[in-house]
Each structure stands twice: as structure tokens, then as C-alpha cells.
A and B are shown apart, each in its own frame.
Chain A
Amino acid sequence: MTSYIFVVISAVLVNNVVFVRILGLCPFMGVSKKLETAVGMGAATTFVLTLGSGSSYLIDHYLLQPFDLGYLRTLSFIVVIAAIVQLTELVIHKASPLLHQVLGIYLPLITTNCAVLGIPLLNAGMRHDLLESLLFGFGSSVGFTLALVLFAGIRERLEGADVPAPFKGTAIAMVTAGLMSLAFMGFAGLDRVQ
């Protein structure tokens, strides 16, 4: 049981996808200008990444490994993830138009989020079992959401801040991201317990 908790905590804080693994930087910089969009993107990613980790594990464990086709992981995972994103969009559109409106354009965009491919590949590399894969996917995307929301909050404040002219815009955002990444290094000590 504790090992599962460690998987989640490690994925959320210690090995945060964005700040420590440096994955998924495109949406991290792209949709963090407003808090609302950040939350929407985070929710959509959490949904897809959790599902994607699970189904990628199934593909890997029951299809690729028995035939010794580990080298097809990247290819098959991205196909599965793309299909899941499409399927999710269809189902959400039908089942909950409101959620579909909130997630909107972010849903299809997630296909190209490298964190969504990276986490299943890491899962395969770390030989997680199904539950661990799901938890790791969920934890990582919660970490991603956390990073995105925190960063969006800071960027909203930065809009009103007196930033020196050469640093305005993306430059100060990059500096902020670097500082946040440093701050998340502080969680590295938690890893020892594991």
C-alpha cells in the first residue's frame, strides 16, 4: 500500500513531470497565461494521461512483450493515445457538453503533449504493474496540473508587476519557470524514504 502512495507522491512532487523531468513544456508555456485555461488543460491532461497509462500498459504487457516487440513501444503508444483522445472527445461531447465546452480545444491538443507519451514509456521502463501505471499516470498529471496552475497564478500576477523592459513577456516567464523548478528540487529529499 505504502509503495502505491510513494508512486503518487513521487510523481506529483519529487519527480514532477514539468519541473524535474522537463516534459510537457509546450502546454506549460502555452496555456499558462490564464488560470482558467490552465485548470481546463490540467483536467483534460489528467483524464487522458491516466487512461493512456493504463491502456499503454495493457498493450505493452499483453501484446508487445509476448512477441518481444519492445522496440514498437513509441509507435504503438502514440497510436493508442491518439485513439483514446479521439474516443474521449466523442464520449465527453455526448455525455457532458458542458465539460466538452470547458476542455474544448485542449482535448485534441493533448495528443501532441510529450508528457502523455513520456509517462507510459517511463512506466514501461520502470516495469510498473497495472495499478502502479495508472497511479503513476494519475500522479504525474496531477503534478502537471499543479505546475500549470501555480505557474498560471504567478503569470497573472506578473502581468501587473513592474518587470524591467528586456525581461517582459516570455523572458520573465522562463526565469519564473526556472525558479519554480529550483523550488521543486527541494522535494528531492522526500525520495530517500522510498
Chain B
Amino acid sequence: MLTALLVMTGIALALGAALGYAAVRFRTEGDPLVDKIDAVLPQTQCGQCGYPGCKPYAQAIASGEAGINQCPPGGEDGIRKLADLLGREFTPLSEEHGIEKPKAVAVIDEQTCIGCTLCIQACPVDAIVGAAKQMHTVVAPLCTGCELCIAPCPVDCIAMVSVAETVPTWKWRYPAAAIGKAA
């Protein structure tokens, strides 16, 4: 009885130690390139690139499936950063995926909202709060401006309002000189 316990404990300890060692020894980070690309993308999760979110698009870029010019919210800046990161040529934003717009957030006209929850289901970042037959509203800091909530709204009470530049949202412009044009 005691030997049985000891033997099983021994096996368990030895295997546990081996696994613990292996977990440290053979640690793998996720694909670092995908994470880097994902960090450059604007995380709007809008799907305008044709992929179901920013991460899948990053994976597609990393595997060479997708071009770097399919992200309208990222705009020209985003494409430039991706081109730098990947060492690819800068290509202008592909028109079939959309055009660059100033950053905007969705605003629900609360007088008109009928509480149908359709926009809540459409929102990829859960930035809309509300319940069935209750007025909904957008949590502005979470809204990525992806416009996915506009189409499902049956009473057209959602509008995109561009974010005015205020002291907290202002930041330095990126240098405007285009790389490669000098030559």
C-alpha cells in the first residue's frame, strides 16, 4: 500500500518536474511579427479590410496573403508604418476597402432610439450600452468609429460625429516628408 503511494507520488513528481522544466526550456512566444503588425493597426475591428478583425488582418499580412493598404481607419499613416515595419513599398489606400475619414465616434440620438438592441449586437468592441426597449447610448471613449452600428439601426438614429481636436486629444503630427520621393 505504502509502496504504491510512494511509487505513484514519485511518478507524478518526476513527470511534473519534467513538464515544468520543459515549459520553461521550450517556451515559445507567439508570432512576434503578427503582434507587431497588430499593434500598428488601429484596433477598430471594423472589418473593412475584408478580415473579421484587426488580428486576423495582421495574420494575413504576416503570411503575405493581404496587402498593407486595406485599412481605411489606419489611413496613410498606418500604411506608412506597416511599410516601414515590413520593408514593403508604400502603396496608397486601396479604394475598394474604403476611404480615409477623420476619426469619428458614433452618437445615438436618444430621442429617436427605440431600444431594438441591433446596434449593440453589431458593435465589435462592446461600446454601446442599453437593453431591449431601453434607450441605448455609446460609450465614447470605447467607440472606435467603425460605423458597423449605422447600417443595422432601423430608425437611423446613429450619426458619426468627428472628434474635434481638444487639448487632451491633440498630438504631434507625423513628419510629412514622404520617404523615397527625394531620389
Residues of A within 8 A of B11 (CB): 59, 63, 76, 79-80
Residues of B within 8 A of A64 (CB): 7
Q: Is A98 an interface residue (CB 8 A)?
A: no
Residues of A within 8 A of B10 (CB): 63
Q: How far is the CB of B106 from chain A (nearest CB, A)?
A: 38
Q: Is B12 an interface residue (CB 8 A)?
A: yes
Residues of B within 8 A of A87 (CB): 18-19, 22
Q: Is the interface of A mostly helix, strand, loop or mixed?
A: helix
Contact A93 B7 (CB under 8 A): no
Known A75-B8, A76-B8: A83·B19 in contact at CB below 8 Å: yes
Q: Is B111 an interface residue (CB 8 A)?
A: no
Q: How far is the CB of B130 from chain A (nearest CB, A)?
A: 38
Q: Is A112 an interface residue (CB 8 A)?
A: no
Residues of A within 8 A of B16 (CB): 83
Contact A86 B19 (CB under 8 A): yes
Interface residue ranges of B1-37 to A (CB < 8 Å): 3-4, 7-8, 10-12, 15-16, 18-19, 22-23, 26-28
Closest 8 CB pairs of A and B: A94-B26, A83-B15, A90-B26, A67-B3, A90-B22, A93-B28, A94-B28, A87-B22
Which A residues fall within an 8 A CB radius of B?
Answer: 59, 63-64, 67, 69, 72, 75-76, 79-80, 83, 86-87, 90-91, 93-95, 97
10 chain-A/chain-B pairs, Cβ below 8 angstroms: A67-B3, A67-B4, A80-B15, A83-B19, A87-B18, A90-B23, A90-B26, A93-B26, A93-B28, A94-B26
